[in-house]
Amino acid sequence: MGNKIDNLKIPIEEIKAIAENGGVVIFFSPGGFGYVSPKNKTYAGSLLEGIKDTLKMWKYRVALINYSRAKNNIWGKIKSAKENLFSFHSESKKLTGLIETITTNFKNIKILLIGYSSGAAFFNEVMKKIKGKDNIYCIQAGTPFFYKRLTSENILFLDNNGKDALANGNIKKLTFIGIIGILKLVLLFKLIRLKISEAFHFKEHEYFWENPEIRLQVESFLKNNFL
């Protein structure tokens, strides 16, 4: 088993170590173009940390793989946009192969995919391709409504209890957010160099572990599958 896929470093030795007594390999996929650091709480980094801490509290050993879908440059953005347009066809096949290799080589391992926004949609496509999902689970936070979601007991969809307009296809609200975002770019870009993702971001599309409604849903899912 190799230890790289393109520029993704796989912590093989860490996976081997946690496999001895059972453990969890977490793949995290951010939103946007797919290269945002999971440390950014706006992109569900808080959710990721809360899940890691909970699993460790339950005596699981955890290995984290931050799965970036593209490089942080113009070509990376073009590649990411193409993958989004075609439902992550190429990138999801690549990750599916990696996950199936890990589960074949390490029988005691559990896999947990945690994705935010377009990262959640990406993991949704991965789950569709994986054969045999007994030890593979997925938490999708804010999956955009225009992606067809896979229904499975192994998948938790989060939409802020119906308040996330992007997850639920609230066109009226999305139109309003779009207009406000354009105005922010026009009025504030020169002043504070506002990023496009920041201009169109909205509170209901945030998934913080500190939010009790989010935390309770996730904890229930984890208890059902990891305890």
Strand partners, 29: 115
Rounded to 5 degrees, φ, ψ at 158 are -110, 130
Q: Which residues are CB-neighbours of 143 under 8 A, at least 6 positions away?
A: 115, 117, 120, 121, 124, 149, 157, 159, 167
For residue 82, the model assigns a pLDDT of 60
Domain segments of the chain: what residues? 4-160+207-226, 165-205
In sign, the C-alpha dihedral spanning 29, 74, 80, 169 is positive
- Most confidently modeled of 70-79, 146-155, 187-196? 146-155
Which listed CATH number (1.10.10, 1.10.3470, 3.30.390, 3.40.50) goes with 4-160+207-226?
Answer: 3.40.50
Average pLDDT along the chain: 81
The predicted model scores a pTM of 0.84
Determine the average pLDDT of the residues in 139-149: 90
Residue 148 backbone phi and psi in degrees, to 5: -75, 120
C-alpha to C-alpha distance for 26 and 155, rounded to whole angstroms = 14
Instruction: Express each pLDDT in 20-51 by its tens digit.
Output: 777 999 999 887 665 666 555 556 778 999 99
74: its two tokens = 């113009």
Q: Which range has the top average pLDDT, 64-68, 78-82, 123-127, 183-187? A: 123-127
